[in-house]
Structure 1
Amino acid sequence: MVEIKRTKEEIINKAEELGVEYEAKYKGCGQCTFLAIIDALRWGGLELIPEDMEDRLFSGICVMTAGVAMTGEGTCGAVNSAVLAIGLALGISRESQDDRVMRDGCVTIRNTILDKYYKEYSSILCKDVQRKFFGRAWDLTRDDMSQEFLGITEGCTIMQTARWSTEIILDEFEKGNLNLPV
């Protein structure tokens, strides 16, 4: 049985703090959000994945940044990472996957993180989120615009998404809905 070592609020606040720290270090919304969620939960006593797996996933998560591969055209990298982290927490395995289990996981994600994005930003698409957050969108396929964007984002959605996702995972933990590795 997993035991949480910190209060829920401490863990959620830690995710937000790590979002700020990781943005300064790694820049991209995908990797910063994912690492903030995973590391805050681990700090609080809830390990979704081992550290060596986190390192392996990092390179794949990096290319989910800024609407997938810095295009701005796809789903916000923070959303992608939140969905990945929540999915890892729910732990749908090959053995347990059936239509009901899969559907329940999708409903949880849709009714939590995606719903928050639609309410806050009216979209989960990177360019739409940029417009809502900053009042404009950048063509991230251009180096000059990409550098400008990465220089002024001030977290974009990293901190908020890390906070929301960590809270969602802790709520699911309290309900007994997580399937964590042993």
Structure 2
Amino acid sequence: MDSSKLSRIVREEFIDEYGSIICNDIQKEVFGKSYNLWDPQEFEAFEEAGGHDDKCPSVTGNAAKWTAKVLLDEGIEPTL
């Protein structure tokens, strides 16, 4: 399977879980609203809501998990 098909599988996982692949949309799903991270007050609110404590790490962890599953399902083993 080529990389575009593999990435499409991960994309579909994002859509199934969060309704979108777009950060602002994912923020709305996870936080109930999106934040303008360029605005210092909104960035502070984002942090206070757990942005970098558990919310975003959970999203990126899911992305890593889905990617690893796709690669392993295709027999693509990691090399160190």
Bin for the TM-score computed over the shorter chain: 0.7 to 0.9
Partner of 2:73: 171
Q: Which residue of 2 aligns with 1:136?
A: 33
Aligned positions of 1:151-162 closer than 5 A: 151=48, 152-153=50-51, 154-156=54-56, 157-162=59-64
User: What count of residue pairs does the alignment treat as equivalent?
Assistant: 74
Q: Which has the larger radius of gyration?
A: 1
RCO comparison, higher one (Cα < 8 Å, 6+): 1
Q: In the alignment, does 2:12 pair up with 1:115?
A: yes
Give every structure 1 segment of 4 or more consecutive aligned residues whose post-TM-superposition deviation is greater than 6 Å: none
**Cα deviation 1:49-91 (Å, max 9, x = unaligned):** xxxxxxxxxxxxxxxxxxxxxxxxxxxxxxxxxxxxxxxxxxx
State how far apart, in whole Å, the 1-side matches of 2:66 and 2:7 are. Answer: 12
Q: Using structure 1 for the length normalisation, give the TM-score.
A: 0.36
Q: Which has the higher helix share?
A: 2
The amino acid across from 1:155 in the alignment is K
RMSD of aligned C-alpha atoms? 2.3
Cα distance, 1:180 vs structure 2:
7.3
**Contiguous gaps of at least 5 residues in structure 2:** none
For residue 144 of structure 1, report the CA deviation from its aligned partner.
Answer: 2.1
Instruction: Give the Cα separation in 2 of the matches to 1:180 and 1:160.
Output: 18
Give % identity. 26
Alpha-carbon distance, 1:171 to partner: 1.6
Q: 1:180 to 1:159 in 2, by over 3 A?
A: closer
5+ long unaligned stretches in structure 1: 1-100
Within the alignment, does 1:105 sit opposite 2:12 as a pair? Answer: no
CA distance in 1, matches of 2:26, 2:74: 26
